[in-house]
Amino acid sequence: MARPPCCGWSSWAEPVPDFLSAELLALREQCEQLATGTLQTLRDDTSLTPGERASSVRKASQAMGLYGLTQSQDTAALTLLVARETLAAHGVGHLPGLFGADAGILHGVPEPLNSTHLIPMLAGDKHAGFAFTEPADASRPTWARMEGEELVVTGRKSYVTGGVNAQFLTALVDVEGQGPSMVIIDTDRPGVSIERRFASLDGSHHAAFRFDEVRVPRHHAIGKPGDGRGRALAKISSVRRTVAADCVGTAQWVIALVTEALQRDRRNGPLAQHDRIRLRFGEMRILAFAARSAVYRTARLADSGQDAVNESIAAKVFASEAVNTLVDMAVQLVGGEALVEGHPLEGAIRRVRASRLVEGDTDTLRVNLSRGFLDLGKGRI
């Protein structure tokens, strides 16, 4: 089914006073050109295999200078938001290969880890998985004991995104006598095994890992002893802002699609002439505006150098809940055709549902947000 050409930025976002610099306005235009040209063509080319599409997307992004934005520690949160939002607003933000792997937890690692893991990962020669979540039936969190110059790791991780193709994992491990640490575990080491491979509704692939007395060099523990959870949460906050950016961009794409459907000529006139429809459409625009405002404020707060952990939670929760509501409302307004396989909204339903779970499900994050303020005095309104 052909995708509507109008589903993009210009239908509603330009009048919003974003107070962007000339450089960010240029970046937005650059992303828009890439999206409406090469990327939409690659998205709709059914002759491509997933691997071929990802490779072509990566080359196009590299040629435009977008691929490396996520790999520089100097890239501002607002810059990443503008890029991701614009691409999602044109229905291409979900394509694999748009952005390179960021250093994340490996930022600043010394030699030999810099040469053996970080540089190959940034170059795309090695792939990493982030191993944070423990299975519900685990008797204890993944742990390690020290034996000379080695750590001996035992435990399980239940939901490692990208783990199927990963050459190494950055895993949260409770090191005896030191506390939580992020530890690099190469997946080809004896004792590392994949218990389960699975795909989720949005098409992403994951794996569950088991560690049985896995021996890794002691220098594979990143950073200071005991700071592993803090490092992990810092990465998660960044990913939450990424999810929020994708959500508000997708919200614009959904509204543009619905706009076209409502204004289309029909036998009894366009749907947009009915007040009942206008009421729902107005509700959609209000929700999208509020979500977008929250996400932009959070990005600017993060760029100011202040603690934005709780605000990143709030932005991610609100934006992910908002886009799911918007997609559902869009289906109701467009009608049964929206559920036909191949319709843009049918794919959107599958993609956005995962946003309410990734990097923390909505209810857990609400509890964490309350704890942050009531117990620690963290967070802003």
At 24-66, the pLDDT tens digits run: 999 999 999 999 999 999 999 999 998 899 999 999 999 999 9
- How far are the Cα atoms of 151, 168, 250 from residue 194, in angstroms, in the given order? 20, 12, 33
Confidence check: pLDDT of 328 > 60 = yes
Phi, psi of 142 (to 5 degrees): -55, 130
Higher pLDDT, 201 or 63: 63
Task: Please state, as a whole number, how many other Cβ atoms lie within 10 Å of the Cβ of residue 85.
Answer: 28
pLDDT of residue 271: 85
> 110-222 adopts what CATH topology?
Butyryl-CoA Dehydrogenase, subunit A; domain 2 (2.40.110)
Closest C-alpha to 333, from 283, 228, 258: 258
Cα(154)–Cα(146) distance, integer angstroms: 12
135 preceded by cis ω (within 30°)? no
217 preceded by cis ω (within 30°)? no
pLDDT of residue 149: 95
- What are the DSSP calls for 175-232, one per residue? ETTTEEEEEEEETTSTTEEEEEEEE-TTS-EEEEEEEEEEEEEGGGEESSTT-HHHHH
Confidence check: pLDDT of 316 > 50 = yes
In whole numbers, what is the pLDDT of the chain averaged over residues? 91
Rounded mean pLDDT, 163-172: 94
Mean pLDDT is lowest, of 221-225, 344-348, 352-356, for 221-225
Task: Please state, as a whole number, how many other Cβ atoms lie within 10 Å of the Cβ of residue 253.
Answer: 27
Pairing of strands 179-186, 143-147: unpaired
pLDDT of residue 234: 78
Rounded mean pLDDT, 217-222: 95
9-98+231-374 against 110-222: fold identical: no
Give the pair of three-digit tokens for residue 107: 């930022």
Cα(381)–Cα(365) distance, integer angstroms: 16
Question: 8 in helix, strand or coil?
Answer: coil
pLDDT of residue 15: 46
Are 330 and 268 a contacting pair, CB within 8 Å?
Answer: no
pLDDT of residue 17: 56
Rounded mean pLDDT, 230-257: 92
Domain ranges of the chain: 9-98+231-374, 110-222
For 55, the enclosing helix (H) or strand (E) is helix 50-64
Give the pair of three-digit tokens for residue 104: 């994340």
Left, alpha or beta for 284 (phi > 0: left; psi -120 to 50: alpha)? alpha
Rounded mean pLDDT, 317-327: 98
| pLDDT, tens only, 72-124 | 888 999 999 999 999 999 999 999 999 998 888 888 899 999 999 999 999 88
pLDDT of residue 12: 42
Phi, psi of 222 (to 5 degrees): -90, 135
Rounded mean pLDDT, 374-380: 91
> 9-98+231-374 adopts what CATH topology?
Butyryl-CoA Dehydrogenase, subunit A; domain 3 (1.20.140)
DSSP state of 39: I
Confidence band of 300 (pLDDT split at 50, 70, 90): very high
Confidence band of 4 (pLDDT split at 50, 70, 90): very low
The model's pTM: 0.84
Question: 41 in helix, strand or coil?
Answer: helix
One-letter amino acid identity for 37?
Answer: G
Higher pLDDT, 201 or 58: 58
Let me know if 268 is exposed, middle or buried by CB neighbors in 10 A (0-12, 13-18, 19+): exposed
Maximum Cα–Cα distance across the chain:
80
pLDDT of residue 8: 45
